[in-house]
Each structure stands twice: as structure tokens, then as C-alpha cells.
Structure 1
Amino acid sequence: MSGDDGENKDYTGTRRSKRVTASEVAKAAGVSRPAVSRAFTPGAYLDNAKRELILETAMQLGYRPNALAASLHGTSTNLVGVVAGDLNNHYDSEFIARLVAQLNAANKWPIVLGGGDRSVSKHAILSLLNYPLDALIIRGGSIPSSLISDCEKLSIPLLFSGHVVNAPYTDCICCRNGVGTSMAVELLVGRGRTAFGFIGGPKTRTSSNERLSGLSDRLAEFGLELQGVEHSDYTYEGGREALTRMIDQQPLDAIICANDAMALGALSAAQSELELRVPEDLSIIGFDDILMASWPDFNLTTIRNPLETTVSEILRLLEERLDNPEKPGEICMLDPILLERGTH
């Protein structure tokens, strides 16, 4: 087998079963253990010839310093905890993938645990607090106030994405959800739509409720009332079933959904089960702008929840918080973008 299968070899070519230690390098090079540490510490004073000897010996032995252990002696570990939202939600999974990539690019080491419901998030956060974290990022949902207090006591900065929390030294970033659905209403009313329905997420989800409020308030400004509301689970199947239930109860000509997955499910139900033409008979607009929304087979009109900007702002907030732990918490609100495609 090749030598890049994750196991160490010593300089004779014999495979080693244990990780090479700094003490072994020191013995082989004929130097002290602290000299080995200095050789791998940027800026530490050490004779150049001795440094080269140590580095060459370390390479022959297959030694690599334990970066985490070394960081514990400094002011930063570069470990960032990330409690994911619902990874079955396409937007959340795309968000986590992008966030991890950007943290890696910033030389941060993310520890990602699934979030899901409140109890899972609590368990995940308690597990993460066992690590020497520089910061903890929470995606979506809410967490018990006791866990926020725990992070305060441990001096672990908290950053919330998709949810606003009023707590000292806590930063939050969120999309203006109501603005997004308000723009969708304006677009559809301009196309002559008058009978609106809304397919939302669970009733406990703040973002879904904000999107519903923005929709209802804007309709009222046009002298219209929301004709139907269904709450589902943010899934394709949930959107398909929700639209079928609503159309069975009353005729509608416009549907706005709290996320794209449900909008795609509603689109499928409209075309394949209800024999409705989209957008001629029924307009459908989603929210988030997941990758599938732009696929030619769907071409979904949607409201972009700006993922790239969200992640870049998280990195900014994180760096500023680490540079100045005592600065007041910041709430960063991002504007959504209406993307007119083929379903409105």
C-alpha cells in the first residue's frame, strides 16, 4: 500500500502503529524537547542549523505537531462550533457547506453538529461546550436561555444566523423576511392576482411567521385578504400536500411559500395532479433560492435569502468579535432579492 494512507512510517521504512511524539524527534536529533517545540513555532528563536536538523528529522520520522494542543497554550484555538439547522432543508445544507468552506479558508476549524428540534440543539450545544471554542454559531431556531448563560460564563461568543436573540455580546444576522414576501405580493398583484394562499413552515418557526406577516400586511395595503394558509414541514412532499388541501377548499390564483422545497412540491401538484397551468392559472413563488430553484425543469420564481452575503457577514462578525470580545452585540439585517423566473 502507498504511504499516504494515514499511517506513519519511521525513517527506515518500517510502519509505525502510534503517532510520533516530539520527544522521539528530540532524541533522534540529539536536541532538547523544547527545541523541537521552538522549531515548529513561527517567530521562536532557534539556531537555523538546529531548526533545519529538527525539521529534517521530523520529516524522516513522519512527525507532525499537534496543532490543537499547541493552540491551547495561546489565546485562540481556532475552533468554531457550528450547530446546524435542519440539514434535510436544502437551504440549511447549502448554508453549512458554504460556511464550513469559508471558515476553513480563514484558518478556522469548524466542529459541526446537527441541530433539528430544540432538544437536539440543546444536546448538541452541551456537547460542543466540552471543547475550547473560540465562538459558537447557531443556525436558525432558538435555544434555551440557560445555554446562552452557559456560553457567557465560559466566555464563548455566540453568533445567531436566521434568528435574532437579544443577549449581551451576542451577534445576529437575519434576512428581512417580511420584505421578501411583500415584494412577491406587489409583483403578483401587478399581474392581476387577487386570491392568495400561503404555505408556511411549522407554526413555531420565526422566519415562516415573519414571511406570513409580510404577505398579509402587504395584501391589506392593496385591500386584499389572504384566502388560505397551510402549515407544513418545509419539504417537497409537504408543499405538494398543502397545495392540494388548499385548492380543494377554495379557488386560488397565487401561492407564496415559506421556502423553495415546498414551492417545488406545490408546482408538482399543480401541474401533475390538479391540472393547473403555471403561471397561466396559478402563480407560485418560493423563498430562499436554493440551487434547484434555477434548474430549467423548475425555473422557480423565488425570493433570494442572500446566502453568500450571510456567510461573508458571519465571518466579519466573527473576526470583529474575536478582536474585541467586549463590543456591543450587532444585529445585521439583510435585504432579500426577488428573482423573476417562470412561475409567476
Structure 2
Amino acid sequence: MNGTNRRRITSKELAKLAGVSSATISRAFSPNSRIGSATRDRILAVAREYGYQPNAIARSLNNQRSRLVALVVNAIGNPCEAEEQQLLIHRLQAHQLLPILLCCADHSDRLQLMRLASTYQVDHVVIFSDMVSMQDAVDIFHTTKPIIVSFEPLENEDVSNIRIDGAVGAGEIIDKIVSDGKRRFAYLSGTKSSWIDKLRRKWFADALARHGLAFEAEAFGDYSYDSGFKEAVLLLHRSKVDAVICGNDVMAIGARDAARRVLGKNTPGDIAIVGQDGIAMAAWDCNDLTTLSLDHVSFMDAVVEVIERHEAGDEGPHSITLACTPRWGSTA
């Protein structure tokens, strides 16, 4: 069987060479199957000798399980999404599940992107993106039960969802800033169309209303550092605000740098700046950002928990709500 162009042998041929049944071959390549270590080692040694590799596609056709999980995200360049996706991918791999990442940002036909993924008969789909219609996602992935991680109102109540509630945490942050004497607030949004950003803004607006206050100015970025820096310069030039709530941590870091370097304002004395997400970079000593933080480990554990319930045959719907909490830094 030496040579570079040798034919790939089948599992039946491997079984004959190893002197075992086809079922034993299957168990040898399944990490959680019960099989003696000596038998497994012997089969794997013969498989290496003859260049055998199991065919996952054929196996999925036989048992109607692809072990694929479609993750529909906005982008993976955003630090928050990157941190969350890394956590989730590690957890999925630990369950012998393989993720397919669908990045919606800068993709003109997002529905076609999801239709393409659906042709692979994914076992699970997790919708993180707020760039796609939730109902379209439910319709396209009709052979499985989508898990919705979004703030968009859902007409279909027969889907599992994970919600984030930051109302209490936002109230704690506003209470602290107001008690420090701040009265003129601005909000720096990520995008006008984002359901996530609309709800995040509402958490803080409601907290301000309890103090008889409201946002006096508003600007729109794109969740990037550059947009946070640029929009903060413009915002602080035209408005005499003394506190800026930002739609995410990256923009907040840009706004903090703009206030310090361009306008000579100190935080939190001259101006308080608050982010949202709780990414690792926000806690670096050079940033030390006050932020409305989500426990990303608990967040991804909740996603896996719903997947495990679906795997066990309990398709739900399941609903989990996680709370955001303040992570205090030197900017507010």
C-alpha cells in the first residue's frame, strides 16, 4: 500500500484488515464510544498504515446528524464579538460540534448567505447578528430550532432566545454619575438601525428620566475607535455635555482619548465617559474604562446550555435572561 496515489480504503476494508466488525471501526473513531484502549490503538495503527480517514459526510447521511452549528454574526473584527465567538467555539468543539461562521457585515445578500448554510443541514443555528430579520432566519432554518440572541422583538414565540437586561446596571451607573454632579448627558450610538443599540440607549434614558434628566445631544458612530474619537470631538465642540454614554467600549475609548488629547478634558472630573460590553481591553490599565459589562463566559455558557437541551430532544422554546453589571474604572 505504499505510494503517493494509493486508493483510499473503505471502513469495511479496514475492518477486515484489523479483524474487527464495521461497528467497532465506527466506535474507534468516536471519542466518547466505549471500546477497549488496546483495540482502539490497534485499529488506529492499521488506519494510519493504510491511510484510512473516516468520512464525516457519509456518517452524517447515515445518522441524519451533521454536528454543524451555524453562527450568524455581524463581524469577527469587533473585539466584543471576537471574545464571545472564541469562547463559544471552544465550548462547541469540546462537545464535538463544528461551527460555521456567517459574517453579515459587508455582505450584500445576507439571506442567501443563510440559505447556503442551511443546505449543509446544520444541527443548530445561533443568531447573534442584528443585521438580519429574525423571522427570515427562522423561515430559512426551518429544519432546526434557531437560538436567537438579539434584542429585536420576535413575533414567533416558538424559538429559544437569550436576552440581555442592563436596565438595573445602567441605573447604578447613572445614579453614580449624577451624584458626582453631572447633569448634561450625551449618547454616542453605534448604528441607527441596531436593535441592540436602541435598547442600550433606552436603559440609560430611563435611568436619567428618574432623575428628571434626558440626553441633550446624540451622535452616531460605527462601533469603531476612529468613529468614537471623531464623533466625540464634534459632539464636545458643539455641546457642553459633561457625560457621554457610548454604545460600546471601543467607541468609549476613542471618545476618552478625544476628550483628553484634543479638548484637554480630564475624566471623570471634566467629563464622565461610559462604555458598554465589558471587553478585556476596557480593563487594561491604559484604558481603565467604566462600562456596563456582560459576563461573556456566562453568556456563551447559556448558548451551549440551550444547544445541549436541543441535543437532548427538548427543543423548547427556552428563554434565558442575563443581567449586565457595572465594571467601575477611572472614567466615571
The verdict on a shared fold, with TM-score over 0.5 as the criterion, is yes
Question: Are residue 195 (structure 1) and residue 190 (structure 2) matched?
Answer: no
> Counterpart amino acid of 1:197?
A
2:325 corresponds in structure 1 to 337
Q: Aligned partners of 1:158 and 1:309: how far apart in 2?
A: 19
Q: Shift of the alpha carbon at 1:339?
A: 0.7
Q: Please tell me whether the aligned partners of residues 81 and 133 of structure 1 are also in contact (alpha carbons under 8 angstroms).
A: yes
CA distance in 2, matches of 1:52, 1:287: 51
2:138 is aligned, of 120, 144, 148, to 148
- Is the Cα–Cα contact under 8 Å of residues 74 and 131 in structure 2 kept in the other structure? no
More moved, 218-227 vs 71-80? 71-80
* Residue of 310, 317, 323 corresponding to 1:321: 310
Distance 2:237 2:39 in 1: 81
Tell me: CA distance 1:119–1:73, structure 2 relative to 1, closer, same or farther (3 Å). Answer: same
The question of whether the paired residues in 1 share the 8 Å contact of 2:309 and 2:315 is answered with: no
Segment drifting more, 224-233 vs 140-149: 140-149
Q: Confirm whether residue 273 of structure 1 aligns to residue 259 of structure 2.
A: no
| Conservation of the 8 A alpha-carbon contact between 1:140 and 1:163 | no
Q: Provide, for residues 137-192 of structure 1, a one-character-per-residue CA deviation record: whole Å limited to 9, x for no partner.
A: 1113053334422322xx21101223353425411112114444333211201211
What CA distance in whole angstroms lies between the structure 2 residues aligned with 1:308 and 1:50? 38
Residue 39 (1) aligns with residue 25 (2): yes
Q: 1:82, CA displacement in angstroms? A: 1.0
Quick check: 1:38–1:45 contact (8 Å CA) kept in 2? Answer: no
Query: Would the alpha carbon gap of residues 147 and 340 (structure 1) be closer, same or farther in structure 2, given more than 3 Å must change?
Result: closer
- Aligned ranges for residues 1-344 of structure 1 at < 5 Å? 10=1, 12=2, 14-16=3-5, 19-22=8-11, 24-25=13-14, 28=17, 35-41=21-27, 56-116=45-105, 119-144=108-133, 145-152=135-142, 155-164=143-152, 165-327=154-316, 329-344=317-332
1:313/1:26 CA distance change after superposition, 3 Å? closer
* Helix, strand or coil at the partner of 1:227: strand
TM-score normalised by structure 2 residue count: 0.88
Aligned length: 327
- For the residue of structure 2 that corresponds to 1:156, the secondary structure is coil
Structure 1 residues 224-273: Cα deviation after superposition (integer angstroms, max 9, x where no partner): 12111111111111111111111111211111111001001101101111
Q: Structure 2 CA distance, aligned partners of 1:104 and 1:51?
A: 22
From the CA coordinates, give the structure whose radius of gyration is larger.
1
Q: Distance in 2 between matches of 1:181 and 1:308?
A: 20
Instruction: State the superposition RMSD in angstroms.
Output: 2.9
- Letter aligned with residue 25 of structure 2: A
Q: 110-119 vs 20-29, which deviates more?
A: 20-29
1:304–1:338: 8 Å Cα contact kept in structure 2?
A: yes
Distance 1:132 1:226 in 2: 47
After TM superposition, the score normalised by the length of structure 1 is 0.85
Seq. identity, %: 26
State how far apart, in whole Å, the 2-side matches of 1:273 and 1:120 are. 40
Q: What CA distance in whole angstroms lies between the structure 1 residues aligned with 2:115 and 2:121?
A: 12
C-alpha deviation, 1:214, in angstroms: 1.7
The whole-number CA distance in structure 2 between the counterparts of 1:281 and 1:239 is 18
Give a deviation string over 1:270-298, Cα, whole Å, max 9, x none: 11111111121111110001121011111
Equivalent-residue separation in structure 2 for 1:50 and 1:270 (angstroms): 67
SS at match of 2:130: coil
Q: Unaligned stretches of 5+ in structure 1?
A: 1-9
Q: Which amino acid in 2 is paired with 1:291?
A: A
For 1:41 and 1:170, locate their aligned partners in 2 and report how far apart those are by CA, in whole Å. 34
- 2:320 counterpart letter in structure 1: C
Contact residue 114 and residue 140 of structure 2 kept, 8 A: no
Unaligned runs of 5+ in 2: none
